[in-house]
């Protein structure tokens, strides 16, 4: 149903429910008057029972119809409320989707910049260093390692070495 159709249906159901409530009031009043007439002996008992039964039956039917129309109006109001909520959520979903797309493109842009810088510095495309072995994983050698014999180092090389060690 269109929005206008739903609004008309709510108004119509509410009007019908109001008419039924008015009829309920009239029937209750008629039952009260009938009881008063019986108490005053203005109506014989058989007629009283017949009228009371008809009025009570009609009141029950009207009450049921009024309840149905009230529930229909309430249900339609809920439907329109849910439609509005869904529209709001869809709009929010679209906004979030746009934000996600924007964030993904920014991420991709940053990633390409970083990769370009890493390639420029030679960090990408070079073989990775082997991880250091943990203690106890080193292979056992049969002979002890021999340290290389020291060679004579020039004064300039010694100076550079000491700078590196600092």
pLDDT tens for the chain, 166 residues: list them.
587 888 898 899 999 999 999 999 999 999 999 999 999 988 889 999 999 999 999 999 999 999 999 999 999 999 999 999 999 999 999 999 999 999 999 999 999 999 999 988 888 865 554 554 555 555 555 555 555 555 565 677 777 777 777 6
Q: Retrieve residue 49's tokens.
A: 């029972």
Return the structure tokens found at 45: 């008992």
Contact by Cβ (8 Å): 99, 25: no
What is the DSSP code string of 108-146?
HHHHHHHHHHHHHTT-SSSPPPPPPPPTT-SPPPSSPPP
CA dist., res. 108 & res. 148, Å (int): 51
Work out the number of other CB atoms within 10 angstroms of the CB of residue 12: 14
Has this prediction a pTM greater than 0.85? Answer: no
Buried-state track 56-70, b at ≥16 Cβ within 10 A, e below 16? eebbeebeebbeebb
């Amino acid at each position: 149903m269109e929005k206008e159709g739903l609004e008309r249906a709510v108004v119509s159901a509410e009007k019908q429910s109001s008419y039924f409530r008015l009829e309920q009031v009239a029937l209750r009043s008629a039952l009260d008057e009938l009881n008063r007439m019986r108490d005053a002996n203005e109506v014989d008992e058989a007629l009283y029972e017949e009228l009371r039964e008809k009025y009570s039956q009609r009141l029950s039917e009207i009450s049921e119809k009024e309840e149905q129309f009230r529930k229909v109006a309430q249900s339609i109001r809920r439907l329109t409320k849910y439609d509005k909520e869904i529209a709001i959520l869809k709009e929010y979903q679209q906004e979030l989707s746009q934000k996600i797309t924007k964030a993904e493109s920014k991420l991709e842009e940053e990633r390409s910049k970083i990769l370009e810088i890493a390639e420029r510095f030679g960090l990408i495309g070079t073989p990775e260093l082997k991880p250091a072995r943990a203690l106890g994983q080193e292979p056992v050698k049969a002979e002890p390692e021999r340290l290389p014999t020291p060679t004579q180092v020039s004064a300039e090389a010694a100076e550079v070495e000491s700078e590196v060690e600092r």
